[in-house]
Amino acid sequence: MTLRPDLLTDAFRALSAQLGQDPLQVQGPGGNSSIKGGGVMWIKASGTELADAERSDIFVAVDREAAKAEATGAGDGTCKATVLDPAVTLRPSIETTFHAALDHTVIAHTHSVATLVHAISPEGRMALNDKLAGLPFVQVPYCKPGVPLTTQILSRATPETQVIVLQNHGLICCGASVQETSDLIAEVEKRLAMPERSISVDNALPAPDDGFTWAIESWLAVASADRATAGSYYPDHVVFLGPALPQADNATNPPAILRPGVGVLLRKAATASQKAMLKCLSDVLIRVPEDWSLAAIGPAAEADLLNWDAEKYRQALAARQ
């Protein structure tokens, strides 16, 4: 089987880069995109960044049928064995199975802030049904990324489904072309856009602890401390920041610590991915209406992510960025 590098068109790379460079769509190494043709699927490699799609080789070619088979029990679900070029050392995205299983040419999966605002809240999920009415969309309950999530998606999506809202996770948009997928993303973003709440905080902060600085997102400690420390609302928060936001330093050396009523301490050694995820939390919580409740993924789901080899691999690659 040929690798079909012709599938990696300028338009596909441009859309991928555009999404990756917009922190309201994708944060750090999160999100992924794919394009199919003739039994080959190119997909973003785990730990790479969509933002680099036009300047680096971040995509991996896989045997689409073999990856589809892993979605239904063949192989170990990582799709490492489906990579077509044996010289490639990068792993395909941990979400390769749903890209392969969905019969659309171009798929983009983002961690859209506008989507997350709705997808982490029971009230927001209800509002989605009205806001996305008329689009071929479904909502999928939270599930661990990888094969379990793919199974959930396939149990709810039909061949006509093009917009998939992943509760406590993000957005998937599918199309027959780059333009169709791009247009769907724009439409969903327009319908789900939420204004930032007006927040007024005192910027006077004490000297930070040794090894830390005060984060720009310190407003969280004054105006949203309960929500920021109540739990983790989506997978990448857990992967890069740890469960919720801790209120004190501990043996895990958390990159960010929330001091209620004061501010958020950011470790000076924090990686770009960790900083991006703290910004994401701020971007999400400043848009969640005060009268909406929030639903965290819970300790069991957090433990699954923290002990998962696939996420440890992604963390290690992201730390080099």
pLDDT tens digits, one per residue of 19-50: 999 999 999 999 999 999 999 999 999 999 99
Q: What is the pLDDT of residues 115-135, one digit of tens each?
A: 999 999 999 999 999 999 999
Question: Helix (H, G, I), strand (E, B), or coil: what is residue 282?
Answer: helix
- pLDDT confidence tier of residue 1, bands split at 50, 70 and 90: confident
**What mean pLDDT comes out for the span 77-95?**
95
CA dist 25 and 112 (Å) reads: 4
Write down the mean pLDDT value for the chain.
95
Sheet holding 106-110, edge to edge: 59-63, 40-44, 32-37, 106-110, 170-175, 163-166, 137-140
CA dist 100 and 67 (Å) reads: 6
Query: Is the distance from CB of 92 to CB of 82 less than 8 angstroms?
Result: yes
Whether the model pTM is above 0.85? yes
Q: Where are the domains of the chain?
A: 5-192, 212-318
Q: Are strands 263-267 and 256-259 parallel, antiparallel or unpaired?
A: antiparallel
Query: Is the distance from CB of 263 to CB of 96 less than 8 angstroms?
Result: no
pLDDT of residue 130: 97
Other CB atoms within a 10 A radius of the CB of residue 130 amount to 8
With 0-12 CB in 10 A as exposed, 13-18 as middle and 19+ as buried, what is 313?
middle
Query: Is the distance from CB of 3 to CB of 27 less than 8 angstroms?
Result: no
pLDDT of residue 204: 85
Query: Is the distance from CB of 256 to CB of 215 less than 8 angstroms?
Result: yes
**What mean pLDDT comes out for the span 148-156?**
97
pLDDT of residue 316: 55
Output DSSP code: residue 92. B
pLDDT of residue 159: 97
Q: Are strands 212-214 and 170-175 parallel, antiparallel or unpaired?
A: unpaired
CATH class given for the domain over 5-192: alpha beta
Query: Is the distance from CB of 180 to CB of 243 less than 8 angstroms?
Result: no
